[in-house]
Structure 1
């Protein structure tokens, strides 16, 4: 069943939510529900299962959190959870848990986030004391279920949030195993930014006659510009930092997220941008929560205007003043592109999505266009002349604002003294020159070479098997830049490649696509990870379990051949 509602619901009170929730929403400054909240909350309050396609930032957290809290009837003081929310990453687990706390404060809702990288003892104590809502990554939830510390007998609702991300990270079998442990009469909610066949398969197996809703892409009338303007630039890798600087200078974003693939790339690019005079902050999985909070505080207060981040670290963030999203590399999957650009153009605000593609990544842009059904125009990188014109325009705008708003009377004596010797136009030109140079508007030293792109016919003429490089997207065994790890568990322990992918992607900053070759032997396994992430992966695997068991994890010791 597909639900099509009208816009008659203009306030949260129209949704017949309990007074405690309405009071909490009012205190948070929420005036009216978003479209997805208007469509999702009524059927969820009626007890219907729901399958929703919704991008990040559409308000889907409140769309499922409010119905969960509406059903709360038990007081604190023991008891098993009545709701379980599964999310792909620890970052999103924290974000969703905080949202539940905000909405359910007056109800005394006991919410517990469960994820890797956090002392398990604290989680065990909280579960023993009793919780109402558990927000968990699949791997850690299954770990607690196996220990018998997370019991789902009283569960009334299960929410799968960002289900496509969980499948991409190798959690499909974990999700199936968790759902098998839940009561048959539970209410099930599934949200996903994209709807690949695997998502529909989960829906058919585990949702009962669900209401289907689709949100995310804003529709525009013929002749109107879309809310998210998408563009791309094809740039040689060596010139990407300079190209990014020029694009940012021309676009002048109020606030922007620049997405990078790795933690090292985030750190290097942040340093480069700060060296060029931008106020950039890094955000990646190697940072603690306190450091992360400081970064987000600087961005929200305007102390910083650029956030350079990995996908995992930025997952779940909602930055109201965000105007631009930049893909410093072409995302390895169209779904990642959809997630990223969904962070701008929200709630009627215009946004810009920019992608910097290397020549070899041009074909991946075409794949993204086919999946999103939206053309991504390829533009020329701004030239030095373009940059000079833009910087002069910014100087002119600053002077115009000063003439309208500033008290300039105390400078009159300087101008009058100079006009005794020089023409007033010459005085004005000198003043503009000083203002322009004081703004830090230095010229780049060289032009960025323009890349000649092959047409699709020329590509076909090269007779290279399409997608040879994209098909796997990871180095072969022993590839440069990768470290091979030894894991002391293999086939005899029931270990499969997807178990290792899920354990690593669920507990670290890596995604499934970052992980290289995997070899499973009878009593051990070998798995390749990027050099820069090897220590982190070793630490998180040593602190967690694989198939419910602890395993030795270390760098492989190479033997002489």
Structure 2
């Protein structure tokens, strides 16, 4: 379904006056393509299947129609809308957005997710809410308790559906939707459209409007919205290469993605030691600590966020200019999600990947799947770095000449020019200004890595031995989980439960063996107690399971 180009303002979309006032106060001037195409059919009550990346405005695309359909303030007996999201961060983000849009309507919006005291959620649900924004596991928990009634639901939204499936929530979602009213409106948004998403749409959506929004192509002669490049470096030189790239790129704000929380902590410490303002974000941090980190990034107190994929899901940082993959993402879909965070609102974004020689072939897979070019670059040399640093000094002096009041320094210059040539005075001043930045160092050139076809074939592709067999490796322990094939347990269900309820990243989980009545999972030794405690308190596939250290 296409909306005529005349719909150039939110008023053209027939939204309620309260919503239009809120959008005007927030500075929203005109709808984005996804909003122009999605809002009219959603207001008509149609089901919708939308493919749209992060940063295209899809939150408002479904939030505004949901708010439009709310009954008079405080008259609903139960939630009229349920929005399912993959992570707690996205639940908070969507909830905050809906509060802003619906503030003049008195909309009661409640986020519910794991890691938050359930008592607070129970009290809010008892008082009454209009919209619930929830992670699937916590929504299912409340449904089982009878504290989240579904009988009055008019709308169900599945946001970032591909992420939820990747985290093992497919059956939870199916169970939730089966308990909702048959006449509900169902909306599904996903950045990618694998067959599993299409299957879910066929099961739960009725004659949906299908919308696909891609990033607008650059006009002729313009720089592409997202400049994608990669550097091939050995693992031992990665920290130095990252610092070199950051010095040359000088991002306003950047996210550096790492695979594990230990790598996040180590790299953050290294970057801060090099003089950057870096903050760590991973599953080992509490919600209040995460909120403080995000506040420092948004206010400019920090300019680098070093994060794992799970911790960074759902984050929306307006001033973000660079996304840096410290390792090649394990799947093209993860790469798509990451780079979708930059290049918004007409600004150029930059996506940079540091690849080890064995990961070179994975870059080709990403190019093939995304149908975009990832340019292989040479790591900046010491000469490149010195030239860039001098350029930054020149730019700083140029800005000072244009903007600062320099009159009080005239007496110093006049006194010195009585004895020295004015050029000598200027050179000495520039030298002091340049050295005051602390940017000069004793850097050595990073060795260039040669790629041979045989090596590329031998070491191609991402490493993922999670499904393999064998004994636990160093630093790993094996857990017994009392559910297996007969309970329809799959590896992704176990990974999703562990990564969703603990600070352990999915990449840290080792081999998984699934038998008929039980499963064995390798996990980091340091996290055994935390994982056992978390899994005993939650459910897997809707059921409580026995979890203990394997006695074998």
TM-score scaled to structure 1, two decimals?
Answer: 0.92
1:453 Cα offset (Å): 1.6
Structural mapping, 1:13-412, within 5 Å? 13-76=11-74, 79-412=77-410
Cα distance in structure 2, aligned partners of 1:323 and 1:415: 39
Contact 2:283–2:505 under 8 Å retained in 1: no
- Structure 1: which 5+ residue stretches go unaligned? none
Closer, same or farther: CA 249–496 of 1 in aligned 2, 3 Å = closer
Deviation at 1:497, TM superposition (A): 3.9
Q: Does 1:503 align with 2:497?
A: yes
Moved more, 434-443 or 213-222: 213-222
SS of residue matched to 2:377:
coil
Q: In structure 2, which of residues 422, 425, 428 is the aligned counterpart of residue 424 of structure 1?
A: 422
Alpha-carbon distance between aligned partners in 1 of 2:526 and 2:231, rounded to the nearest angstrom: 28
How much does 1:115 deviate? Answer: 1.5
Cα distance change of structure 1 residues 434 and 261 upon mapping to structure 2, 3 Å threshold: same
Tell me if the contact between 2:359 and 2:459 (Cα under 8 Å) persists in the aligned partners: no
Report deviation, 1:422. 3.2
Aligned partners of 1:312 and 1:510 also within 8 Å: no
Q: Mean alpha-carbon deviation: is it higher for 115-124 or for 247-256?
A: 115-124
Structure 1 pair 509–223 and aligned structure 2 pair: CA distance change class (3 A): farther
The unaligned stretches of length 5 or more in structure 2 are none
CA offset digits 1:157-188 (Å, max 9, x no partner): 11110011111111112222222112222111
Could you tell me which of 453, 473, 478 is aligned with 1:479?
Answer: 473
Contact 1:170–1:512 (CA<8 Å) still a contact in 2?
A: no
Question: Hey, what's the Cα distance between the residues in 2 that align with 1:88 and 1:128?
Answer: 24
Once residues 426 and 186 of structure 1 are traced to their aligned partners in structure 2, the CA distance between those partners, rounded to angstroms, is 77
SS of 2:513 mapped into structure 1: strand
> What secondary structure, in the 3-state scheme, does the structure 2 residue paired with 1:378 have?
strand
Do the aligned residues in 2 keep the contact of 1:227 with 1:350 (CA within 8 Å)? Answer: yes
Contact 1:233-1:355 at 8 Å conserved across structures: yes
CA-to-aligned-CA distance 1:78-115 (integer Å, 9 cap, x gap):
62221111111111111111222222222222222222
TM-superposition CA deviations, 1:493-534 (whole Å, max 9, x none): 665544423322333355655433223456653222345654
Q: CA offset at residue 281 of structure 1?
A: 1.3
Of stretches 247-256 and 209-218 in structure 1, the one that deviates more from structure 2 is 209-218
Q: 1:9 to 1:77 in 2, by over 3 A?
A: closer
TM, length-normalised to structure 2? 0.93
Deviation for aligned residue 1:474: 6.6
Partner Cα separation in structure 1 for residue 445 and residue 70 of structure 2: 62
> SS of the residue aligned with 2:305?
strand
* Aligned mates of 1:126, 1:325 — CA distance in 2: 37
Could you tell me which of 417, 433, 436 is aligned with 1:435?
433
The answer on whether the counterparts of 1:53 and 1:214 sit within 8 Å (CA) in structure 2 is yes
Matched, 1:546 2:544: no
Tell me the C-alpha RMSD between the 2 structures: 2.4
- Following the alignment from structure 1 to structure 2, what is the Cα–Cα distance between the partners of residues 216 and 529? 39
Is the contact made by 1:384 and 1:443 (CA closer than 8 Å) also made in structure 2? Answer: no
| C-alpha contact (below 8 Å) 1:49/1:188 kept by paired residues | yes
CA drift at 1:472: 4.7
Q: Secondary structure at the match of 1:307?
A: strand
Q: Tell me, in whole angstroms, the C-alpha distance in 2 between the residues paired with 1:322 and 1:495.
A: 39
CA distance in 1: counterparts of 2:455 and 2:2, whole angstroms:
44
